[in-house]
Structure 1
Amino acid sequence: MLYVQEVGHHVRLATHINFSDFVKSAGVEFYPLGGDPRVLAGYMARNKGLPVAKGELSIQREQLEAIMESILPACTEPDIKTGAPFRAQAIIANPPAYGQSHVAEALNVPLHILFTVPWTPTYEFPSPIAHLPQSPGNRLSYVIVDLLIWWIIRGHINDIRKRQLKLPPISYFSTYYGSIYHLPTTYMWSRHVLPKPKDWGPEVDVVGYCFLNLGYKYQPQEELVDWIKKGPRPIYVGFGSMLLDDSRRTTDIILEALKHTGQRGILDRGWGDLGISSDFPDDIFLLENCPHDWLFPQCSAVVHHGGGGTTAAGLKAGCPTTIVPFFGDQFFWGDRIHEKGLGPEPIPVNQLTVEALSNAIRFMLDPEVKCRATEIAQLMENEDGVAAAVDAFHRHLPDELPVPPASVVENHHHPNIIQWFFVQIGTICCQVCS
Structure 2
Amino acid sequence: MLDMLSEKEKKMIMEDLVKIQNNGTVEVHVAQNAPVATELLKLDAIDFSYSEFEDDIYGFNKSIPKLKIAMLVVGTRGDIQPFIAFAKRLQEFGHHVRLATHVNFQNFVRSAGVDFYPLGGDPRIMAGYMVRNKGFLLSRPAEISIQRKQLKEIINSLLPACTEPDLETGVPFRAQALIANPPAYGHAHVAEALGVPLHIFFTMPWTPTSEFPHPLARVPQSAAYRLSYLVVDLIVWWGIRGYINDFRKRKLKLPSIAYFSTYHGSISHLPTGYLWSPHLVPKPNDWGPLVDVVGFCFLNLGARYQPSKEFEQWLLRGSKPLYIGFGSMPIEDTKKITCIILEALRETGQRGIISRGWSDLGSISQFPTDVFFIDDCPHDWLFPRCTAVVHHGGAGTTAAGLRAGCPTTVVPFFGDQFFWGERILARGVGPQPIPISELNVDRLSNAIKFMLEPEVKLRAMELGKQIENEDGVVGAVNAFHRHLPTKLPIPPFPPASEELPHPFQWLLTVIEKWCCLPFTML
Q: What TM-score, normalized by structure 1, do the two folds share?
A: 0.91
Instruction: Look up the SS of the partner of 1:195 in the other structure.
Output: coil
In the alignment, the residues of structure 2 paired with residue 400 and residue 50 of structure 1 have an alpha-carbon distance, to the nearest angstrom, of 38
**Residue equivalent to 2:213:** 126
- Please point out which of 116, 119, 128 is paired with 1:33: 119
Q: 2:76 is matched with which residue?
A: none
Shift, 1:278, TM fit? 4.1
Counterpart in the other structure of 1:284: 371
- Corresponding position: 1:20 with 2:106: yes
User: Residue type of the partner of 1:120?
Assistant: T
The residue matched to 1:176 in structure 2 has which SS? coil
1:217-228 superposed matches below 5 A: 217-228=304-315
For the 8 Å contact 1:131–1:332, the answer to whether it is kept is no
Identity of aligned residues (%): 68
Question: Structure 2: which 5+ residue stretches go unaligned?
Answer: 1-86, 493-522
Displacement of 1:49 in angstroms is 1.6
Match for 1:136 among 223, 226, 232? 223
Residue of 352, 363, 375 corresponding to 1:265: 352
Shift, 1:134, TM fit: 5.1
Task: Answer whether contact 1:341 1:369 (CA < 8 A) is retained.
Answer: yes
Superposition TM-score, scaled by structure 2 size:
0.76
* AA matched with 1:4: L
Bigger Cα displacement from structure 2, 131-140 vs 104-113 = 131-140
CA distance in 1, matches of 2:365, 2:234: 45
Aligned to 1:365: 452
Higher gyration radius (CA):
2
Shift of 1:6: 1.2
Contact 1:61/1:153 (CA < 8 Å) preserved in 2?
Answer: no
Q: Does the alignment pair 1:244 with 2:335?
A: no
2:338–2:362: 8 Å Cα contact kept in structure 1? yes
Cα pair distance change 1:212/1:131, threshold 3 Å: farther
2:96 match: secondary structure: coil
**Aligned residue pair count:** 405
| 1:193 counterpart (251, 262, 280) | 280
Match of residue 173 from structure 2: 86
Instruction: Summarize deviations over 1:34-66 as a string: whole Å, max 9, x none.
Output: 001011111111222232224133322321111
- Considering only aligned residues, what root-mean-square deviation do their CA atoms show, in Å? 1.3
1:160 and 2:247 aligned: yes
Whole-angstrom CA distance in 2 between matches of 1:321 and 1:338: 9
Q: Alpha-carbon deviation of 1:404?
A: 9.8
1:163-199, Cα deviation, whole Å (9 max, x unpaired): 0000000001110313111000000111110000000
1:331 aligns with 2:418: yes
Match of 1:109 in 2: 196
Is the alpha carbon distance of 1:181 and 1:302 closer, same or farther for their aligned partners in structure 2, counting shifts above 3 Å? same
Distance 2:381 2:94 in 1: 29
- Per-residue displacement from partner, 1:143-172 (whole Å, max 9, x unpaired)? 111111111111110000000000000001
Alignment-derived partner of residue 152 in structure 2: 65
Conserved? CA contact 1:87–1:404, under 8 Å: no
Counterpart secondary structure, 2:339? helix
Contact 2:234 2:265 in 1 (8 A): no
Structure 1: stretches of 5+ with no match in the other structure: 406-434
* 1:136/1:383 CA distance change after superposition, 3 Å: same
Query: Which of residues 402, 407, 410 in structure 2 aligns to 1:320?
Result: 407
Aligned match for 2:95, one of 1, 9, 30 = 9
Q: CA 1:221/1:381 → structure 2, altered by over 3 Å: closer, same or farther?
A: same
